[in-house]
């Protein structure tokens, strides 16, 4: 049976973007024609957390309503370099616990993190959505693999816009960020586009 995960930001006993996470869980159950039996906010409240700090609140669940919760101290990663990796037939519409295919991409790369390319379209990293800077405005690819909760929030609050980003125009952008539930839109973690070590004009991108 397939299992799914939600990784939710908790900081100083406050839980973030819970409505987006719960909607994703609800949508997952609905897609498989099951009744949702997971209430994320109630599971969090039952923990009775009394400790400040930054945590990843991780819920692993199945479609029968069984779940396991973990509260893990979290530090925002600073990534040394990125590599464009071209793949085919990668489906991550749902947040599956099984990340074998995504992990294999990283294992085959010479860089710390990969940026996944599908049919010339820029999508996501192995664990996050992406946003790119151009002319003082931030954009996110229309061609995501997973419509992450932070991505949805930034679009809804008009902090970013959707745009088509491909191997042909990626060098028009000067900087980029990784965004997900744990990694906010944060000026402290902005990468120059040169952190992508195999930009198309310089090197052939890695094909898997």
pLDDT surpasses 70 at 46: yes
What pLDDT does residue 184 have?
A: 93
pLDDT surpasses 50 at 208: no
Cα 204 to Cα 207: distance, rounded to the nearest angstrom: 9
The confidence band for 203, taking pLDDT boundaries of 50, 70 and 90, is very low
Residue found by looking up tokens 């049976």 in the block = 1
Cα 124 to Cα 75: distance, rounded to the nearest angstrom: 21
Cα 106 to Cα 125: distance, rounded to the nearest angstrom: 10
What pLDDT does residue 150 have?
A: 98
Number of neighbours of residue 117 by Cβ within 10 angstroms = 22
- Give the pLDDT confidence of 113-145 residue by residue, as tens digits: 999 999 999 999 999 999 999 999 999 999 999
Q: Quote the CATH superfamily of domain 82-207.
A: D-amino Acid Aminotransferase, subunit A, domain 2 (3.20.10.10)
Helix axis angle for 18-31 and 40-47, nearest 10°, is 130
Q: Which CATH class is domain 3-73?
A: alpha beta
Cα 28 to Cα 144: distance, rounded to the nearest angstrom: 17
What pLDDT does residue 207 have?
A: 54
DSSP state of 119: T
Domain ranges of the chain: 3-73, 82-207
Give the DSSP per-residue string, 142-197.
S--SS--HHHHHHHHTTSSEEE--BTTTGGG--EEEEESSSS-S-GGG-EEGGGBT
Window from 80-94, 126-140, 157-171 with minimum mean pLDDT: 80-94
């Amino acid at each position: 049976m397939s299992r799914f995960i939600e990784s939710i930001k908790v900081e100083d006993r406050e839980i973030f973007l819970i409505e987006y996470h719960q909607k994703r869980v609800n949508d997952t159950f609905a897609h498989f024609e099951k009744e949702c039996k997971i209430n994320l906010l109630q599971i969090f409240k039952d923990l009775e957390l009394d400790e400040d700090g930054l945590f990843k609140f991780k819920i692993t669940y199945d479609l029968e309503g069984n779940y396991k919760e973990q509260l893990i101290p979290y530090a925002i990663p600073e990534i040394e370099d990125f590599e464009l990796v071209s793949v085919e037939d990668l489906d991550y519409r749902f947040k599956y616990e099984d990340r074998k295919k995504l992990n294999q991409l990283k294992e085959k790369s010479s860089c710390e993190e990969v940026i996944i390319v599908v049919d010339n379209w820029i999508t996501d990293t192995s664990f996050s959505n992406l946003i790119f800077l151009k002319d003082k405005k931030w954009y996110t690819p229309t061609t995501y693999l997973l419509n992450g909760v932070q991505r949805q929030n930034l679009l809804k609050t008009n902090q970013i816009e959707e745009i088509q980003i491909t191997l042909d125009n990626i060098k028009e952008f000067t900087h980029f960020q990784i965004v997900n539930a744990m990694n906010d839109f944060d000026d402290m973690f902005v990468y120059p586009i040169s952190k992508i070590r195999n930009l198309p004009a310089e090197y052939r991108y890695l094909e898997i």
